Amino acid sequence: MKHLILLLSICYSVVVLAQPIIKVEPANLSKTFEADLSDFGLMLGLHTKVTNLTNQEIQLRWTRTVLNKPGEWLTQVCDNVRCYNPPVSTNIDLQIGLNEPVILGPNGSFDLTLYVVPSGVTGEGAFEINLALASNPAAILAKAGFSATVNALTTSTYEARKAEIRIFPNPATEYFEITNNTLVDRVTVYNLLGREVRSYRTFDRGQYSLAGLPEGMYLVSLIDNKGAVIKTMRLAKRSWRP
């Protein structure tokens, strides 16, 4: 009987440990930026979301690894605690007195952002952020992969890319998309009174939800990585009818 109880306990532990603790979405993110490289303070963001899949509070440690990049590039990680200076590659490093785990409540989530600072240089880079429990940093729970391509943006290129941007479908029912465009970093939806009703980070082949919004006309602002509005377009929301 004791052997059976022990066996059941071991099996239960294996099953529990096999369950995923966190989810990273998207787990691999690739983005091309066309940027004004005369701005040496330019920061280009790659955003992903980390979600606690358990019903318990957890504390996370992240560690950034640079796989390849131009020598002039810097990178900076931001979590829900703060943004760290480029030399900092983890949020927990007791040797330098740094101990700032990401605390996530049950089913909670936070935005994990890797910023690329190209320092006026075009090129390609690949990066990885490993996530683990603060209490067990050797056991990697999930990885977030990032790749960035930075091209120089000229005035003519900017105007051409800006002119290509479209919203579809329009009218829309449950969601809308925008044409693939490397200028847009964020999408914000306003009602005709000017009140913000939705805000999204852009991602490839993204569908931006209008669920829960009443029928009517809305304004959609497309915003670049500097926070400047590229263009604003009208979007009609219609209910689906069979």
Range 16-42 average pLDDT = 87
Which residues, at least 6 apart from 157, have a Cβ–Cβ distance to it below 8 Å?
A: 34
What is the pLDDT confidence band of residue 204, given thresholds at 50, 70 and 90? low
Whether 136 has a pLDDT exceeding 70, the answer reads yes
pLDDT at 201: 87
Q: The tokens of 212 are what?
A: 């829960």
Beta strands in the chain (DSSP E): 22-25, 28-35, 44-52, 58-68, 74-78, 92-93, 98-99, 102-104, 109-117, 123-133, 136-152, 167-168, 175-178, 186-191, 196-201, 208-209, 216-223, 229-237
Whether 38 has a pLDDT exceeding 90, the answer reads no
Sign, Cα dihedral of 169, 174, 180, 181: positive
- CB 102, CB 79: distance < 8 Å: yes
pLDDT in tens, 73-90: 999 999 999 999 999 999
**If you count them, how many residues does the chain have?**
242
Query: What 3-state class would DSSP assign to 4?
Result: helix
What is the pLDDT confidence band of residue 239, given thresholds at 50, 70 and 90? confident
* Torsions phi, psi for 160 (to 5 deg): -65, -45
pLDDT at 9: 43
Q: The tokens of 124 are what?
A: 């390609």
Query: What rounded mean pLDDT belongs to the chain?
Result: 89
pLDDT at 1: 54
pLDDT at 13: 40
Whether 2 has a pLDDT exceeding 60, the answer reads no
Top-confidence residue, 71 or 157: 71
Which of 152, 187, 128, 199 has the alpha carbon at shortest distance from 36?
152
What is the pLDDT confidence band of residue 11, given thresholds at 50, 70 and 90? very low
Whether 18 has a pLDDT exceeding 90, the answer reads no
Residue located via tokens 């998207």 = 26
pLDDT at 205: 65
DSSP 172: B
What is the pLDDT confidence band of residue 127, given thresholds at 50, 70 and 90? very high
Give the distance, in angstroms, between the CA of residue 5 and the centroid of all CA atoms in the same chain.
Answer: 45
* Residues paired with 188 in a beta bridge: 199, 221
